[in-house]
Amino acid sequence: MESSEAVVDESARPPAADVDVLIVGAGITGIYQLYRAREAGFTVQLLEAGSGVGGTWFWNRYPGARFDSESYTYAYLFSKELFEEWEWQEHFAEQPEIERYLNHVVDRFDLRRDMRFGSNVTSAVYDEPAAKWTVTVDDGTVFRARYLVAATGVLSVPYFPDVPGRDGFRGEQYHTGRWPAAPVDFAGKRVAVVGTGSSGVQVIPVVAGEAASLTVYQRTANWCTPLNNSPITPDEQARLRANFETMCETLATSFSGFLHVPGDRATFDDSKDERWAFYEKMWNSPGFAKLVSHYTDLLFDPEANAEWCEFLAEKIRSIVEDPGTAEKLIPKDHRYGEHRPPFVTGYFEAFNQPNVSLVATKETPIVRITPTGIETTESLREFDIIVWATGFDFGTGALSRMGIRGRDGLALEDHWADGPSTFLGVQTAGFPNLFFPGGPHAAAGNNPRYNGDQVDFITGVLTYARDHGYDTIEAEPAAQEKWTRLNDKWATRPPNFGTASYYFGSNIPGKPRRYLLNSVGRPKFLEECAAARENDYEAFKLLRSSHPRDRSHGCDGRRG
């Protein structure tokens, strides 16, 4: 298996350091945390396993990878100058533009000097007497830090299904989540893509246009709808600049961080003709408008959901010429929104090409990978390239593999053996001075908006602790319990959407079934952050290592 790991210039690596804040991960969240922590006056070091910045947007460089939230709403909004000087080319930017943008941000704010690439964290151990973290990377270098911020992302550990023979395949194999830096040449090749989640359905139309043949192995059909991407015209660029503050305000108050106007009518308030006209409008709307601006009962009334699905099934039948293929592409086992809905460009159309075929693996399961191809219960097909678009160990995957040991040597993966428990998705009790913005319970929607809120909150807590002479910050178990219960409860509200998806870890055999996203929404999250700030962060145990007594026992005589 190749990786995106280009050669790292070791001589350019900053040496081991003892810093205030050690950040792991140079994705969108880690970059922002570096900016904010440095701006707040902390000494900072960032460790990144890859050879460049971007995190998820560095590793997922497969052809067709692009945002499905509007580019300008997914980007950083902390600097109006940055917003004004970067002109996104498309409403939904493709991976190369995203990577260029993130590099631009890093250089514009001179962040690269505190970044160390090719540094994969192998252990992170809390040193209780010193109230510091000792972090070791795979070349053996050891770092010390007061605070450890693991901005390691939720989609950073690729998942390969346990199919016999995978390692013995003699052709090329790639996972969408670890795409190589050098372009993969599909021309004249027989290609298989396994998996039809958001990544699979993005890569499939591109490969279909290049390969001699493409066989798509689909286990579960998905409710795909058009992304409806387009270039951003000069007029639109001007409008975006003119409306920066309004856009920020809309995003800050939106439940899930999107610009789309929320729907205001229930399905059966409209006549059938009106409903079909509305569905057509939704079909032609950009990205997540199809969820946010839809009828308000789409996810709550099974009948309403079923009718939208009926409309989508009609659309699929009208696009896909072969009726048998069309039927296979229509989901029969879940409602719209139960799995994360992918947004596509030319996906269903690709199945009309003579070089593209579909294998439904629920009907004819994959039995094994042979040295030359994929064998199902029905046939053996030979391939030059297999693309695994089979997803990730979502939410907790990276955090559970970093060798994190908290108080009394407690292993994070043991602590979360039944699934994650967090306070606001930023901390978990037993792991003082460890924060994980953009991790479990962080987001459910436009991720950078939620994750940016978390970074702002964390920076506030760190600043407060420094300014008041504390050096240990740990979530109070009661506060954590309250947040985790709320998150779990809202996630399973009737009609109980999504329990069969990776939202609950269900895609990984043996993984505990526990909600991994933020079901509570940004407004409530921001409300909780404001409350925490206003009451001097009482949701955290703040201690001084030299006077190891809880401030609630009055050791400091100061409350902020």
Task: Write out the two tokens for 181.
Answer: 């830096």
- Residue 177-206 contact track with ligand NAP, rule CB under 6 A, x = bound: -----------------xxxxxxx-x----
**CB distance 522 to 453 below 8 Å:** yes
Tokens linked to 63: 């052809």
| Helix, coil or strand: residue 226 | strand
Burial class (CB in 10 A: 0-12, 13-18, 19+), 246: exposed
Q: Which residues contact 286 (CB under 8 A, 6 or more apart)?
A: 70, 91, 92, 227, 228, 229
- When binding is defined by CB under 6 A, the residue of 102, 150, 155, 330 that contacts ligand NAP is 155
Nearer to ligand NAP, 31 or 539 (CB): 31
Query: How far is it, in rounded angstroms, from Cα 437 to Cα 154?
Result: 10
Q: How far is the CB of 43 from ligand NAP (least distance, A)?
A: 34
Closer residue to ligand NAP in complex, CB, 142/380: 380
Binding to ligand NAP in span 308-347, by CB under 6 A: 340
Binding window for ligand NAP (CB under 6 A); candidates: 62-70, 451-459, 523-531, 546-554: 62-70
- Nearest residue (beta carbon) to ligand NAP: 197
Q: What is the per-residue binding string for ligand NAP in 459-498, x denoting contact by CB under 6 A?
A: ----------------------------------------
Least distance between ligand NAP and beta carbon 379 (Å):
16
Q: What is the number of other CB atoms lying within 10 angstroms of the CB of residue 560? A: 12
Residue 518 in contact with ligand NAP, rule: CB under 6 A: no
Q: Which positions from 216 through 245 interact with ligand NAP, judged by CB under 6 A?
A: 217, 219-220
Q: Based on CB atoms, which residue is closest to ligand NAP, 155 or 211?
A: 155
* Shortest CB 95 distance to ligand NAP, Å: 9
Helix boundaries (H) for 423-474:
447-467
- For the bound state, the minimum distance from the C-beta of residue 177 to ligand NAP, rounded and expressed in Å, comes to 6
Q: Closer CB to ligand NAP, residue 368 or residue 466?
A: 368
Shortest spacing between CB 518 and ligand NAP, in angstroms: 13
Kindly state the number of chain residues that form the binding site for ligand NAP, as judged by CB under 6 A: 26
Comparing CB distances to ligand NAP, the nearer of 79 and 220 is 220
Q: Both tokens of residue 408?
A: 């009394």
Beta strands in 176-283 (DSSP E): 190-194, 213-218, 225-226
Q: How far is the CB of 560 from ligand NAP (least distance, A)?
A: 39
Q: How far is the CB of 554 from ligand NAP (least distance, A)?
A: 47
Q: Taking the complex as a whole, how short is the minimal distance between the CB of residue 168 and ligand NAP, in angstroms?
A: 17
Cis peptide bond prior to 495, omega within 30° of 0: yes
432 neighbors 513 (Cβ within 8 angstroms)? no
Contacts to ligand NAP from residues 390-429, by CB under 6 A: 390-392
- By the rule CB under 6 A, 68 interacts with ligand NAP: yes
Shortest distance, position 165 Cβ to ligand NAP, whole Å: 13
The span from the CA of 219 to the CA of 199, in Å, is 14
Contacts of 121 (CB under 8 A, 6+ apart): 24, 47, 49, 135, 136, 137, 138, 402, 403
The interaxial angle of helices 234-242 and 244-253, nearest 10 deg, is 70
Least distance between ligand NAP and beta carbon 401 (Å): 18
Q: Could you say whether residue 161 binds ligand NAP (CB under 6 A)?
A: yes
Count the helices and strands in the chain (H runs, E runs): 17, 20
For residue 19, give both structure tokens. 């810093």
Binding test (CB under 6 A) with ligand NAP, winner from 213, 400, 480, 507: 507
Residue number with CB closer to ligand NAP (66 or 146): 66
Kindly give the residue spans of alpha helices, DSSP state H, lying in 218-333. 234-242, 244-253, 272-283, 289-292, 302-319, 323-329
Query: Which residues in 366-395 contact ligand NAP (CB under 6 A)?
Result: 366, 389-392
| Cβ at position 362, least distance to ligand NAP in Å | 8
Residue 459 or 519: the one with the smaller Cβ distance to ligand NAP is 519
What is the gyration radius of the CA atoms in the chain, in angstroms? 24
Q: Which of 4, 173, 293, 361 binds ligand NAP (CB under 6 A)?
A: 361
Beta strands 356-360 and 343-344, pairing class:
unpaired
> Are 37 and 462 a contacting pair, CB within 8 Å?
yes
By CB under 6 A, name the binding residues for ligand NAP: 66-68, 155, 161, 176, 194-200, 202, 217, 219-220, 340, 361, 366, 389-392, 502, 507
